[in-house]
Chains A and B, each alone.
Chain A
Amino acid sequence: MKNQPTRRELMKRAAMIAATTVISERANGAPALPARYSPHLRVVDGVQWDKAPCRFCGTGCHVQVGVKDGKVVAIAGDRQAEVNKGLLCVKGYHVGLALYGKDRLTQPLLRQDGKLVPISWKKALDVIADRVQKNPAGFAFYGSGQWTIPEGYAANKFMKGGLSNNHIDPNARLCMASAVTGFLSTYGVDEPAGCYDDLDACDVVVFWGNNPAEMHPVLFSRIVDRRSRGETVRIVDITTRTTRSSGFADDVLLMKPQGDLAIANGLLHLLIARGTYDKEFVEKYCAFRGESDPPSLNGKAISFEDFKREIAEYTPAYVEQLSGVPARKIEELATLFGDRKLKITSLWCMGVNQHTRGTAMNALIHGVHLLSGHFGTPGNAPTSLTGQPSACGTVREVGTLSHALPGGRVVANEKHRRQGEDLWRVPHGRINAKPGYHTVELWRNFSTPTEKGGDIHTIWVQVTNPGQTLPNTNELFYPSRKLKDKFLIVSDVYPTETTLHADLVLPSAMWVEKNGMVGNSERRTQQWFKMVAPPGDARDDCWQIIAVARRLFDRGFAGMKDKDGKFLFAVEENGKEVPIWDYRHYYDVNVDRSLFEEYRPWTRLKHKDLAPYDEYVRAHGLRWPVVQQPDSSWRETKFRFSGFDDPYVAKGKTYDFYHSTSEDGRAQIWFHPYAAPPEAPDKDFPFWLCTGRVLEHWHSGSLTMRIPQLRRAMPQAYAEMHPMDARTLGVGNGERLRIRSRRGELELPVWIGGRGAPPPGTVFVPFFDESLLINRVTLDAHDPFSKQPDYKKCAVALERLSTEAGTP
């Protein structure tokens, strides 16, 4: 053993750890770091290291955070983490810098006479409580897939269990709602069956409108680095523009926008027409489903013969006509899916989800895998990826959606409401049966004058930036800012387009400035401890919710009491209530642990069992269902619905879809016909606009644009186009272009031969840049089931500006 520490060194280190964990961090009344027991904590040369999941995307890499003198000073990829095995991407390596932008929000600000003026927390809490009491039914919460699990759980309980109000929806509605409806309509229960282990085992990986080389780089490397080890993995890239991922692909299927519907149907048709589908798998474990009239999430049962007849239309020639992809390439891909010896994994994210037929498209990809039997063994999986660290853990599992309750329950179901009321210990009837407004509805309502029926008077936004990320902001966001009785509360860490227009701004703690838990794309729940103090008066989002709840409780607001009259968020220690609403005492106990243990019983209904909090302290995340073994250890599940791994599969069964919507253990293979996009290029608006992301920046860029290494590498948004189009328009590299849709316009520099290569007739613009807001141009048309808008295709006109015109 090299570097074996001596006994004296071990004792010295132990003493240092003991000393540093009890040191009070600040003198001005903020709580000390919690006394804690992290088995991963180590202190060497004055640097205190501990594990945390990365703050950014849904991959869920673990980082080691190095803290010295109360500040983060270094980051290292965590070698013990199964997700990333020590590797990170450039955002992850620089995640520590996200805390230290100079313009951190450090005190509550209230708009007075048009200006944001510093106020005390006490005043801020009173203002919010006043807004709630004005009319609790018109108070809404707009949250995030970046909410930690305890934060989302507290917000959900505050709204649905406290205010009897379901107007709570997250930004994840814009991000993965269609993935949820795809899983629900196929398996009857949300979230992927497979996991990242499939990426190590597959022979073929299919990217459906996905660019993981930039957006999920660690997973992408997990695939392509297999080639460096001499393994073979064939990459098929189905895309509307060639990207860095295409550069590594063996086959690139360049399609017209919306062509994915035709391609998936074409594959289903060929599998049946050629007889290469998996007859045994389909006979034993699948049922067929078609769209009902009126349309519904679960459609109607159809026979295999019906399915075969309907799908027969999607011949390779017809698919070529709809998608622009040569028939021969469709046939080749169908050959791969028809080969049972190959192991095939599909990955998708925003291309499929941000789609007016997103639910259909998700279901079709599942259908291709089910029909071909590429399901349920390592390497064979349809796996949807997420873009936020806890889109799964918080939004989908805790159910911070306007129709949902924790653990896969829905407010419309009376049994679910009763279970919820019992778990929250609130009187029966407390939870409102009517779903609240989904994101687009919510913001449209907020921007509608009260006298014209806009009944939402206040929205509290946490951990997201809707002023930049909502679609069609000219209609959904800005009008509310001119209405006097519409009040916008925003909790954030930096000034953003949203705080700029807010009435009350609350400074938040972020990432390792607070305790947290999140859930990644592969059902992995992760935990970390607070490591540094937040700046100034910035405080935990979860505390903010609890403090407002307590203010209402103190004012006698009935909803903040449980059925015994106790505070809804009461935390007791040794039989005494700890005043966690007083921030000085917030870390006297581990509130995360307390909320998580309260939430755990919710997770059993849909067999998404979570382990006790302390198991997550020990592990680098665990994939649910986590089930206790006879030896009392906790075992995670990698492959859901597969008898060899999933403890909930009936004994002796190879596969068991135990939440089947047809209630017979079968998954549904859907027929969803092609449908034209809601808006397509025409004479007046002749180009497609696609929006998206770049490697360096994460979402609205409020964190990554403050990290010099990332911002220098990608300083601003741009319009990417084909050189032929540029020539026709007469614009050169760096020259300015006006992009105009029926909804808004934006001026941007052109970048030809840049990061991606759109085909002629398409322009691509990333949305990270707060000074070049492309969502003034995009469309708010959305999927009928998931209510997720389509940011990937709308019609625009392009116009050359003189090179002198305008500055960014």
Chain B
Amino acid sequence: MIRRPNLRGATSTLAFVGAVLAIALIGFVTGTHSRPKHAGYQAQHEPASTVAAAPSYRELTATRWGANAGMYDLQVPALALSLPTADQPVAPASAADRSAALVERGRLRAYTGAPPVIPHAIDERGLPGCLACHGKGAVAAGRMAPMMSHVVMQNCVQCHVPSSVRPELKERSLVENTFVGLLPAAGKRAWNGAPPTMPHPSFMRERCNSCHGVGAWAGLRTPHLERSNCQQCHLPSALWDQRTGQGGPLGLGAQL
């Protein structure tokens, strides 16, 4: 059996993923990359099978498969260069920036809280290469690849699906759907000047930097990038707080 490092908590997972990604990038760029070998059980050459051996978890983020495996090889470091950094001053967002960002954001979501669809083609079968760009986030040519807002979950395409038709399959007319999704309202403030509450669900949006950090749309970027303990001042909205039913610890329903 393969022994895998015993990671505890999201932070070390992220650090680990980051480290693997970094090593992989160096490997790709310098051309010295090779698949890591491990001592335990490994798939051998299979004359009767056309299936490639599945990579181990250790290899997941470092190994890409299929025809387009090399397409990002030289791109990712270039993308990273265009990211602003935390020490650069960020101007507060204008109202126009903000509404532009909300429109852009709404375009990819059925309602506030829905997982965004993927606005680009993906490798349908290969292991998700999502982390290459969305692990840390990247910006290039006016397009932004946001850092994922939640801890690494392996099966990205379980929740996120492409937004457009792949060329092999033609789209036929859609039956119109009259669903109107809940829109984000501005976060509530207790008084003028108080920090707003979060106007969206906080579950699976633990990494505020994803939308409010350096790589974010200007309209959503925080003017105080240097502060990192967001929930010290910005509280989750009661709208998405699932604890407030009677079943939750607050026991509201008992009063009805």
Say whether B177 contacts A100, CB under 8 Å.
Answer: yes
Q: Is A234 an interface residue (CB 8 A)?
A: yes
Q: A242-B125, A708-B177, A749-B168 are in contact. Are A76 and B154 (CB under 8 A)?
A: no
A89, A332, A705: the one within 8 Å of B158 (CB) = A89
Q: A37-B256, A100-B178, A244-B125 are in contact. Are A224 and B171 (CB under 8 A)?
A: no
Say whether B177 contacts A5, CB under 8 Å.
Answer: no
Say whether A716 contacts B159, CB under 8 Å.
Answer: no
Residues in B neighbouring A40, C-beta threshold 8 A? 245-247, 253
Identify which of B25-33, B112-120, B217-225 touches chain A.
B112-120
Number of residues from B at the complex interface, CB < 8 A: 89
Q: A73-B111, A229-B7, A715-B172 are in contact. Are A754 and B124 (CB under 8 A)?
A: yes
Residues in B neighbouring A734, C-beta threshold 8 A? 167-169
Residues in A neighbouring B247, C-beta threshold 8 A? 39-40, 51, 80, 618
B41, B57, B160, B178: the one within 8 Å of A227 (CB) = B57
Say whether A250 contacts B56, CB under 8 Å.
Answer: yes
Residues in B neighbouring A237, C-beta threshold 8 A? 54
Q: Is B143 an interface residue (CB 8 A)?
A: no
Residues in A neighbouring B238, C-beta threshold 8 A? 3, 5, 44-45
Identify which of B75-83, B92-100, B180-188 touches chain A.
B180-188
Q: Is B194 an interface residue (CB 8 A)?
A: no
With most chain A CB atoms within 10 A of its CB, the pick from B50, B117, B158, B172 is B158
Residues in B neighbouring A3, C-beta threshold 8 A? 197, 235-236, 238, 241
A88, A246, A706, A755: the one within 8 Å of B177 (CB) = A706
Nearest chain A CB to B54's CB is how many angstroms away? Answer: 5
Say whether A715 contacts B235, CB under 8 Å.
Answer: no
Tell me the chain A residues, 61-101 only, with Cβ under 8 Å from chain B: 64, 66, 68, 71-80, 86-90, 93-94, 96-97, 99-101
Q: Is A563 an interface residue (CB 8 A)?
A: no
Say whether B248 contacts A80, CB under 8 Å.
Answer: yes
Q: Is B174 an interface residue (CB 8 A)?
A: yes
Say whether B170 contacts A715, CB under 8 Å.
Answer: yes
Chain A contact residues: over half helix, strand or loop, or mixed? mixed
Q: Is A117 an interface residue (CB 8 A)?
A: no
Closest B residue to A495 using CB positions: B175
Q: Is A42 an interface residue (CB 8 A)?
A: yes
Q: Is A251 an interface residue (CB 8 A)?
A: yes
Residues in A neighbouring B159, C-beta threshold 8 A? 87-90, 93
Q: Is A225 an interface residue (CB 8 A)?
A: yes
Say whether B236 contacts A47, CB under 8 Å.
Answer: no
Closest A residue to B181 using CB positions: A73
Say whether A97 contacts B170, CB under 8 Å.
Answer: no
Residues in A neighbouring B53, C-beta threshold 8 A? 252
In the bound assembly, the distance between CA atoms of A715 and B182 in angstroms comes to 25
Identify which of A213-221, A522-530, A571-579 touches chain B.
A213-221
Residues in B neighbouring A45, C-beta threshold 8 A? 185, 238-239
Say whether A79 contacts B203, CB under 8 Å.
Answer: yes
Residues in B neighbouring A324, C-beta threshold 8 A? 48-49
Nearest chain B CB to A465's CB is how many angstroms away? Answer: 15
Chain A 29-60 interface mask (CB, 8 Å, partner B; 1/0): 00000000111111011010101000000000
Residues in A neighbouring B181, C-beta threshold 8 A? 73-74
In the bound assembly, the distance between CA atoms of A17 and B241 in angstroms comes to 16
In the bound assembly, the distance between CA atoms of A254 and B49 in angstroms comes to 7
Q: A5-B250, A64-B242, A232-B1 are in contact. Are A213 and B155 (CB under 8 A)?
A: yes
Q: Is B39 an interface residue (CB 8 A)?
A: no
Closest A residue to B8 using CB positions: A230
Q: A10-B255, A44-B244, A75-B114 are in contact. Are A326 and B163 (CB under 8 A)?
A: no
Say whether A230 contacts B111, CB under 8 Å.
Answer: no
Residues in A neighbouring B115, C-beta threshold 8 A? 90, 93
A76, A248, A722, A771: the one within 8 Å of B54 (CB) = A248
Say whether B4 contacts A217, CB under 8 Å.
Answer: no
With most chain A CB atoms within 10 A of its CB, the pick from B3, B43, B168, B248 is B168
Q: Is A781 an interface residue (CB 8 A)?
A: no
Say whether A751 contacts B6, CB under 8 Å.
Answer: no
Q: Is B176 an interface residue (CB 8 A)?
A: yes
Nearest chain A CB to B176's CB is how many angstroms away? Answer: 4
Q: 15 A-B pairs, CB-CB below 8 angstroms?
A: A14-B255, A38-B245, A39-B253, A47-B239, A51-B247, A76-B240, A86-B203, A100-B179, A230-B5, A248-B54, A254-B51, A705-B175, A713-B161, A750-B168, A771-B172
Contacts A230-B7, A715-B170 aside, 17 further interface pairs with beta carbons under 8 A come to A5-B250, A42-B252, A47-B239, A71-B180, A75-B111, A93-B110, A97-B177, A224-B155, A229-B13, A244-B155, A252-B49, A254-B51, A707-B177, A710-B161, A751-B168, A754-B125, A759-B50
